[in-house]
Chain A
């Protein structure tokens, strides 16, 4: 139990987002004693990926402001010594706002599903109840009937949801609660009764989505890995890549003149493109070749350093077609961006091409939430201590030096440390300086077909939608197919991201209505061309600005990680992690290659079998939950014969309680890492 934690660590990390996890892994790797805690019941914070049902719980949690539990030790006053003062951390997480949910899928029960509750007749869409004040009667969705969104009412915790769904479901939530229960039964029990057949031409109902909910891995942030970005380099260098598997983004699309087109970016794309004339092909290739080493041809762009990238493109004898591709899909910058920045972005994109495929991007199978967990696993392998649903209540500051000497956890235990790393959400409001953060608008859609159907159903697409009207933000879409293990077969998981100007739904609705049909129930044949939205979630997330220590009023040995930013890549987070690491241990190497498992010698601990990493379960529910989670994941992995994903997953996800994982070493065979060419 958390109360048994040792009283002294070198580094205490609060929050399991990407930056925090990388810092924890890097410190642990070079021998620092690391305690890594998160008040949430899941890893990765705002970088997390959820099953469909997990997402519903998360939504519920958001409504309660992220306050996990009220019963926390408050009697920490006596832990302070002479000359010390306490700095109380924030318990309210305000990073997620404007949550809205719409359901367009048929509410009809599954035909073959006996246990599905027959009472699901309430019309779509449903809406998250707790959010009613945030968005009240949203006029953008005429069909909206404020109706209890289902399963979460009164069940903030995953365990409650899985265990007690049936009993606790209030009357008005019947429609969702019951399938939820059946899901839980199924997980506890045996194999799923029926695997959905992809050939079946049948509308997918909400019940089906809930039933197959564990096949979803829905990311809170939508990002991709640039093949030559810092994160991929770090994964390779540190050998953390052995814990994850990746898929190539298979195509890049853009929205232009009312339709979607494939963006030719690689040599092979340009060669095969049907939309470009021969001369355009030459001009595009010529410009791209120039961008690859633009620094060596300053004469080409120096006159434009003070002018916009758009102006620069205008002078390059490029057709409208190509200018669009370059600006919106390759550089992915707004037109007013300075020329230097635009060229840099283009170059970054191009350098990542061809390393693993004809697009520059990788996506982790099972979702982005895998990545922080991989680093947590690395941290645990090197002795880091993990504790979820556990937080730090306050910092103990030395009045004289102003440094943080220790922390007091939510059990009231005092833990001394020389460095403390925390996610921005825990920083008390009064200690944050500077202007209000910008927001990201996020949309998550489950759809029934691809935006641009092709020979294969399993396309993983990045779609760039330029501003539909002047002043609006460009919208970035990733469409994930079921082979990414993030959605059930027969569906696509669509992530929309843009810089917020209003609520997420208001920002994204124009794009969604152009690209998709949002009709509840059966869609008419008229719109058969466009994918139908089965279910949609919108929310705003705080956009991490480029961090600097100066913007927080905190001791020098307290390091803040600002959470995910709105960009496509992950470089900011990794760069920050490395900076913080060097502030903590200035003379050590950042994430040197981890040794092979067979070269590791164990001392002190007798040989332990697999799964030994799960500590003494404190509550029956937790154990059950952890077990279930594992089953679900491994099973899913088996389905796709991705043998390794399951075990890696288990290690990251396993416990809601403390888990000293040092012995749960990678007995799993190393998965296919993104090896260097």
Chain B
């Protein structure tokens, strides 16, 4: 039959392909060598541009060649007229577009494009923005393009509202998109800055300031309510999509703790001053200044534990005799020069110690994560989430968000529900049950701190609450008695050394095998660690740095079974006269 179709055999095809490949490789290698030679000889001419262009067109990730091109272009800039330079760079942009088609995620191409755009005598930013639109339409997670877009927006002053609408479109077509949500979180505060300091929250929404310096990270209420609706649409549509939940959490609370000196404590005994900061700092590198009775003092600051470089708590010993006379009154001022903040503390005559601080209750400290919002807004958000939970009782994101909302509203009143939700969370998301345990421990500690401070006592008791970790220990600076019995603590971490006033520690019935935090606690007298997992004598070594330790209860620990333990302990801790084994 005429014209019957016959096909080349696979072997024929492969042979053709192989030859083709070989040919290409040869050309590629020759061109590369030629290019390198030219660079070695310092030739900066058109031909070199040509050669590198051939190579980059097939392999746009050849960083050395982009560098070479920049060298050539910079040179040509100096010898050509502006129009010629303009044309040169425009050609470069066209070439880059073909490279980006080869590999839309090429670091080299995007970087070079940014460079060329900034060198272009008469840049066409609209074209660049259009390019970003196109690339993000095809792949809304191309972070190279997101970066470039931010550059273009910055350089050309694209209105923020326009960019916001762009994210609207991307989110509308697919809301599982961290990049778009994140971009919104940077745009909104610029577009509709909330009243950070001003007392009236209803400040004009429609006067957007596009100044990028204005980083209040707050958004006016009207705008926020719209955002809540948008993001709720997303998580009601697909509650398992994390990106919307994360954005929601950002919306609900972006309060940052004010940077400040939260507490100054002074003790005549040992003539020590302890300073607590609102965040961990390195006292050795940030400047802060101690003034006692008008005299600046040069002192050595140390962190509560030698292994912690950044610590919220710093300790110093004053020169002997500075405040030892109980009949004198002293005034101390600690100044954090970098932050232009200070705290005064007066030590009255006849008093052995004194402190000055803002308490956690005063600061609503533990509600800070979501505390920016008015409680009415939080309340209605809680209702929405509860509604969703009825439909999706197993949804972890919803459970977690409800817990956070409850904490923001009233941590103590919702304590019972919070614990119940944590229980479900650990069941439905068992892979992360330890995370939830730690988070729950944190919240329980926060609640206990609040209760303690409402009661105005220096006793912290948190027994039988399945604590798996300890945190906020800087808040326990003034505590004298602590009871952590019947939890699941594995260790007393280095930060435990921040409890500078601690006298009595009870931590029975845990699984503690590490006492690293019981170091340099000047007032510690009694330690009860019954039924833990201490097994080696060396585990107890930190206690040797606690000068006042007299009573130590180690019953029910493996170490208590060891022979001659009593004598060894007596050698190691001569002051501990009351040893229970």
Residues of A at the B interface (CB closer than 8 Å) are 31, 33, 267-268, 270-272, 278-279, 281-283, 285-286, 358, 381-383, 595, 599-605, 660, 662-663
Nearest CB of chain A from residue B171's CB, rounded to whole Å: 8
Contact B3 A604 (CB under 8 A): yes
Which residues 183-241 of B sit at the A interface, judged by CB distance below 8 A? 232-234, 236-239
Contact B3 A271 (CB under 8 A): no
Supposing A271-B233, A278-B233, A282-B239 touch, asked if A383 and B387 sit within 8 A by C-beta, the answer is: no
B11 at the interface (CB under 8 A from A): no
State the CA gap A281–B7 with chains docked (Å): 54
State the CA gap A283–B387 with chains docked (Å): 12
Supposing A33-B1, A601-B6, A604-B2 touch, asked if A271 and B387 sit within 8 A by C-beta, the answer is: no
- For this complex, 16 residue pairs linking A to B, each with C-beta atoms less than 8 Å apart, are A267-B174, A268-B172, A268-B173, A271-B233, A278-B236, A278-B384, A282-B237, A381-B5, A383-B3, A383-B5, A601-B8, A603-B3, A603-B6, A604-B2, A662-B2, A662-B5
Residue of B whose beta carbon sits closest to that of A264: B237
Task: Note all chain B residues with C-beta closer than 8 A to A31.
Answer: 4
Task: Note all chain A residues with C-beta closer than 8 A to B174.
Answer: 267-268
Contact B2 A605 (CB under 8 A): yes
Supposing A279-B391, A595-B7, A599-B8 touch, asked if A660 and B2 sit within 8 A by C-beta, the answer is: yes
Task: Note all chain A residues with C-beta closer than 8 A to B4.
Answer: 31, 383, 603-604, 662
Residue of B whose beta carbon sits closest to that of A268: B173
B13 at the interface (CB under 8 A from A): yes
Supposing A604-B3, A662-B4 touch, asked if A279 and B13 sit within 8 A by C-beta, the answer is: no
State the CA gap A286–B239 with chains docked (Å): 10
Nearest CB of chain B from residue A658's CB, rounded to whole Å: 13
B175 at the interface (CB under 8 A from A): yes
Residue of A whose beta carbon sits closest to that of B392: A282
B388 at the interface (CB under 8 A from A): yes
Nearest CB of chain A from residue B385's CB, rounded to whole Å: 11
Contact B3 A602 (CB under 8 A): yes
Residue of A whose beta carbon sits closest to that of B384: A278
| Interface size range on B against A | 20 to 34
Supposing A281-B236, A282-B237 touch, asked if A271 and B175 sit within 8 A by C-beta, the answer is: yes
Residue of B whose beta carbon sits closest to that of A662: B3
Task: Note all chain B residues with C-beta closer than 8 A to A267.
Answer: 174-175, 237-238
Nearest CB of chain B from residue A12's CB, rounded to whole Å: 15
Contact of B3 among A285, A599, A605 (CB under 8 A): A605
Contact A271 B391 (CB under 8 A): no
Contact B387 A278 (CB under 8 A): yes
Task: Note all chain B residues with C-beta closer than 8 A to A272.
Answer: 172, 233
Residue of B whose beta carbon sits closest to that of A598: B8
State the CA gap A663–B384 with chains docked (Å): 68
Contact of B237 among A270, A603, A604 (CB under 8 A): A270
Known: A278-B232, A662-B5, A663-B3. 14 other contacts (CB 8 A): A268-B174, A271-B172, A278-B387, A278-B388, A279-B236, A282-B239, A282-B391, A285-B236, A286-B391, A286-B392, A599-B7, A600-B7, A601-B8, A605-B3
**Interface core residue of A271, A281, A283, A595 (most chain B CB under 10 Å):** A271
Contact of A660 among B3, B8, B237, B239 (CB under 8 A): B3
Task: Note all chain A residues with C-beta closer than 8 A to B238.
Answer: 267, 271, 285
State the CA gap A79–B362 with chains docked (Å): 110
State the CA gap A505–B6 with chains docked (Å): 52
Task: Provide the B160-179 mask, 1 if CB < 8 A to any CB of A, else 0.
Answer: 00000000000011110000
State the CA gap A270–B388 with chains docked (Å): 16
State the CA gap A31–B3 with chains docked (Å): 12
Task: Note all chain A residues with C-beta closer than 8 A to B175.
Answer: 267-268, 271
The 7 A-B residue pairs whose C-beta atoms are closest, nearest first, are A662-B3, A278-B236, A271-B237, A601-B6, A281-B236, A605-B3, A282-B236
Task: Note all chain B residues with C-beta closer than 8 A to A283.
Answer: 391
State the CA gap A307–B237 with chains docked (Å): 29
State the CA gap A663–B5 with chains docked (Å): 9
Task: Note all chain A residues with C-beta closer than 8 A to B3.
Answer: 383, 602-605, 660, 662-663
Nearest CB of chain B from residue A319's CB, rounded to whole Å: 13
Task: Note all chain A residues with C-beta closer than 8 A to B232.
Answer: 278
State the CA gap A267–B171 with chains docked (Å): 11
Nearest CB of chain A from residue B446's CB, rounded to whole Å: 31
Task: Note all chain B residues with C-beta closer than 8 A to A279.
Answer: 236, 387, 391
**Interface core residue of A283, A382, A603, A605 (most chain B CB under 10 Å):** A603
Task: Note all chain A residues with C-beta closer than 8 A to B391.
Answer: 279, 282-283, 286
Nearest CB of chain B from residue A662's CB, rounded to whole Å: 3
**Interface core residue of B3, B7, B172, B233 (most chain A CB under 10 Å):** B3
State the CA gap A662–B1 with chains docked (Å): 11
Task: Note all chain A residues with C-beta closer than 8 A to B384.
Answer: 278
Residue of B whose beta carbon sits closest to that of A665: B5
State the CA gap A660–B4 with chains docked (Å): 11
Task: Note all chain A residues with C-beta closer than 8 A to B172.
Answer: 268, 271-272
State the CA gap A274–B391 with chains docked (Å): 20
Task: Note all chain B residues with C-beta closer than 8 A to A383.
Answer: 1, 3-5
Which residues 301-320 of B sit at the A interface, judged by CB distance below 8 A? none
Task: Note all chain A residues with C-beta closer than 8 A to B7.
Answer: 595, 599-601
Contact B236 A382 (CB under 8 A): no
State the CA gap A272–B13 with chains docked (Å): 50
State the CA gap A72–B35 with chains docked (Å): 76
Residue of A whose beta carbon sits closest to that of B4: A383
Residue of B whose beta carbon sits closest to that of A283: B391
Residue of A whose beta carbon sits closest to that of B3: A662
